[in-house]
A and B are shown apart, each in its own frame.
Chain A
Amino acid sequence: MHDRIQELISDFLYHGTTPEQETELFDLCSKYPASAELLRRHLLLSLKLRKLREGTEIKPELRNETLRRINLLQAQREQSDTSSTTIVPSSPRRLGFAHLFGAVAATAVIAVFITLAFRGYHAPTPSTAAVAPIIDTFVVVLKDTVTQLQPVYIVRTERTREVPESPVSITDDAGPEGIAAQARSTTEAIGQGQGRDDEVHTESMAIAQLPLQERTRHFLEQYNAMLTSVESVQLTSNDRISD
């Protein structure tokens, strides 16, 4: 009963009742005072809500500002319409083909760039290949919290190019004493490496045998880890890497 009244009132207020339903509603209201009271409260609330519209005048400045923006937009659009008809006379169909060719050409250029980049990355150039040093062994170096793997180059009779990353770099003007000193430091470095934990060493050797790309990725990961770990460390001149 209550639900039926609610439904009828709702339909009556929002233009959804048929004449028969209206009659039913008024009959119920005349029979039951509670229904009449419910209808009265709904009507009163509707009246109060509709009254809210009265306090919603728009300020003339707001109206002017809105119309000013619309005028500006209209002027811009008219201007762009005029310019577009003079500059772009081509039909949509022709424009579509142009887009297609443009996309194909762009894809081809990107593919060529990627191929060149890959070949350039993997294959050494003839000049660098000729002077590339041969790595004899690796030394495990523990720096901060990071384990680094450094290659060791042993001096051979042929002329080799200086490798800055190497802990033992041989230069032409080093002389016999310099070479001896560097050899000593190499031996010490090897000694240090052998003194490390065997597990770490085995793991590092495994890394050394990985393909170049994998190895590079590994070094990068270690380098990034090192960057994170040294954030709180105050570096001094002793930390500077020198020849």
Chain B
Amino acid sequence: MTEHERRTRFDDLYAQYDRRVFAYCLHVTSDRDLANDVYQEVFVKVYLMMHTVRDTEKTVHWLFRIARNECLNALKVRQRNEKRTMTLDEGRDASYTSDPAEQSDEAAHVRWGLNQLSDEHREALLLAECEGFTIKEIAEITGTSASNVKVRIHRAKQKLQMLLHPILNENA
């Protein structure tokens, strides 16, 4: 693959998915600064590894798999740093961490609820709901079985429904 071909394929992918990748990074990390860094790293890695993609139909899964791994790595590093410095929540969006009672915005309330889920459950739910992937596709991205993905989504929704009980009832 020549550099020109590599760049052309990268530009197509970037134009199509940059916003979705950023949204995913933001939801998974719950931290805008961290999401900015991860987003850049994802696309740099995608550019460098463009030649490894053989099945063009699965390029999107591959892209999100890279995004997922980068997010998980960034979260691990952040957790390590937080343990060292004990400055929790400093860089995070307030809407992800602060008390829901203080939040007037409904979206902020949902983000808070998402942040209460485990990483695995949140990830599966976001890929399904926000990114619109099917169960099979999520299984491919996360490297797990389809039935496992179903269970994760189901549990995530159960917990989220409990947490967002007030706003879900308001709309009744």
Chain A residues engaging chain B, CB cutoff 8 angstroms: 6, 10, 13-16, 40-42, 44-46, 48-59, 62-63, 65-66, 69-70, 73-74, 77-78, 81
Contact with B161, one of A6, A13, A41 (Cβ below 8 angstroms):
A41
CB neighbours of A58 from chain B (8 A): 18-19, 22, 39
Q: Which 6 A-B pairs have the closest CB atoms?
A: A56-B23, A49-B129, A58-B22, A66-B40, A48-B110, A78-B3
Asked if B77 is an interface residue, CB under 8 A from chain A, the answer is: no
For window 143-161 of B, CB contacts with A under 8 Å fall at 150, 153-154, 157, 160-161
Contact with A70, one of B10, B111, B154, B171 (Cβ below 8 angstroms):
B10
C-alpha gap A91/B10 in the complex (Å): 30
* Nearest CB of chain A from residue B123's CB, rounded to whole Å: 13
Contact with B26, one of A40, A41, A56 (Cβ below 8 angstroms):
A56
CB neighbours of B121 from chain A (8 A): none
CB neighbours of B164 from chain A (8 A): 45, 48
C-alpha gap A198/B125 in the complex (Å): 77
22 contacts between A and B (CB under 8 A): A13-B128, A14-B153, A40-B172, A42-B157, A45-B157, A45-B161, A45-B168, A50-B130, A51-B110, A52-B110, A53-B23, A53-B130, A55-B107, A56-B27, A58-B22, A58-B39, A62-B22, A66-B39, A70-B44, A74-B3, A74-B47, A78-B3
Name the interface size band of chain B: 35 or more
CB neighbours of B160 from chain A (8 A): 45
CB neighbours of A54 from chain B (8 A): 107
Give the total number of A-B pairs whose CB atoms are below 8 A apart.
89
Asked if B36 is an interface residue, CB under 8 A from chain A, the answer is: yes
CB neighbours of A55 from chain B (8 A): 107
CB neighbours of A45 from chain B (8 A): 157, 160-161, 164, 168
Interface of B is mostly: helix
CB neighbours of B129 from chain A (8 A): 46, 49-50
C-alpha gap A46/B125 in the complex (Å): 9
CB neighbours of B154 from chain A (8 A): 6, 10
Interface of A is mostly: helix
C-alpha gap A73/B44 in the complex (Å): 8
* Nearest CB of chain B from residue A46's CB, rounded to whole Å: 5
Asked if B53 is an interface residue, CB under 8 A from chain A, the answer is: no
CB neighbours of A77 from chain B (8 A): 3
- A14–B135 CB distance below 8 A: yes
Q: In the complex, what residue of chain A is closest to B21 when comparing beta carbons?
A: A58
CB neighbours of B168 from chain A (8 A): 41, 44-45
- A52–B107 CB distance below 8 A: yes
Given A45-B160, A73-B44, A81-B3, A10:B153 Cβ within 8 A = yes
Q: In the complex, what residue of chain B is closest to A56 when comparing beta carbons?
A: B23
CB neighbours of B40 from chain A (8 A): 62, 65-66, 69
Contact with A44, one of B36, B111, B171 (Cβ below 8 angstroms):
B171
CB neighbours of A56 from chain B (8 A): 19, 22-23, 26-27
C-alpha gap A3/B74 in the complex (Å): 37
Q: What are the interface flags for B13-51 relative to A under an 8 Å C-beta threshold, 1 for contact and 0 otherwise?
A: 000001100110011000000001001100110011000
Asked if B106 is an interface residue, CB under 8 A from chain A, the answer is: yes
Asked if B80 is an interface residue, CB under 8 A from chain A, the answer is: no
